[in-house]
Amino acid sequence: MLAKLWTKFSYTIILLICSAIACFIIVWNTGEPIKEEYVSITIEKGETLWEISTKYDGHYHMSKKEFINWVEKHNEITASYMEVGKELVIPVKLKDHEMLLASE
C-alpha cells in the first residue's frame, strides 16, 4: 500500500517535505539576530528619536526620517511614545560603533 501511495503521490510528498524544511529554515533564521548586529541603547528621560538620530549622525547611512522609521519598526514603538529605560536597537552597526569607541 505504501508503494502505491509513493508511486501516486511522490512529487507531492517531496514538495511537502521541501516546503516544511524551507519553513523551518526561514523561522530559524528570523530569530533575533538584529540585536547582535546593531547597537542597543537605553532611552533616557526626555530623549526623543530625533535627538538619538542626531547623536549617532554619520554612523548610519539613511536620512533621519528613515532612521526614526527603522527604529519604530524594529522596536515596535512610536516616536510619540517612548518608555524611559526601554532598550532600543538602532541602525548603527555594532562593529562600526566599537571601532568608533576604540578610536576615541
Superfamily per CATH, domain 33-103: LysM domain (3.10.350.10)
Which region holds residue 46: left if phi is over 0, alpha if psi is between -120 and 50, else beta? left
Res 35: pLDDT: 65
Torsion of CA 32, 33, 34, 37, to 10 degrees: 150
Res 32: pLDDT: 57
pTM: 0.60
Q: What is the pLDDT along the chain (104 residues), one digit of tens a residue?
A: 778 888 888 899 899 999 999 888 887 776 555 667 889 999 999 999 999 999 988 888 899 999 999 999 989 899 888 899 999 999 988 876 665 555 55
Locate the domains of the chain by residue range.
Answer: 1-30, 33-103
Res 93: pLDDT: 85
